[in-house]
Homo-oligomer: A and B are copies of this chain.
């Protein structure tokens, strides 16, 4: 499954996220795109919806923000569950994957006959630089 050609709005939103230092809220993205004609939140949310679907952007549930996938070119959906470490001081996000974690979680849900659709793993804390 490859990423389709992005539309104009999708490209604009994606570019903003890619150039950002860290995660951005939808409204922050909106503000950054006012000059490009964006006027309403929905323009951002609709683009984000597609970008999430394509796996090129992640949503950070615990901080209501969005971040470009750390694996440009690859399809993140194929890496198993994505985990994030989010620095509460500087906002920097580290993305990682751990197959053993995936395996344990999936073993648990299988035991419950639970059918997983979307899994969130987010660790909030302080990055090395900020903890010092």
Contact = CB atoms under 8 A, between A and B. Distances in A.
Interface of A: 61-62, 83, 85, 87-88, 94, 96, 98, 100-101, 104-105, 108-109, 112-128, 131
20 contacts: A61-B120, A61-B122, A83-B108, A87-B114, A96-B108, A98-B108, A100-B100, A100-B104, A101-B105, A104-B104, A105-B123, A113-B128, A115-B131, A116-B123, A118-B124, A118-B125, A119-B123, A119-B124, A120-B122, A120-B124
A109 B85 contact: yes
Contact of A125 (B62, B94, B116, B123): B116
Given A98-B104, A104-B98, A120-B120, A125 B113 contact: no
Contact of A114 (B62, B100, B115, B123): B123
A99 to B, nearest CB: 9
Contact of A61 (B61, B87, B117, B125): B61
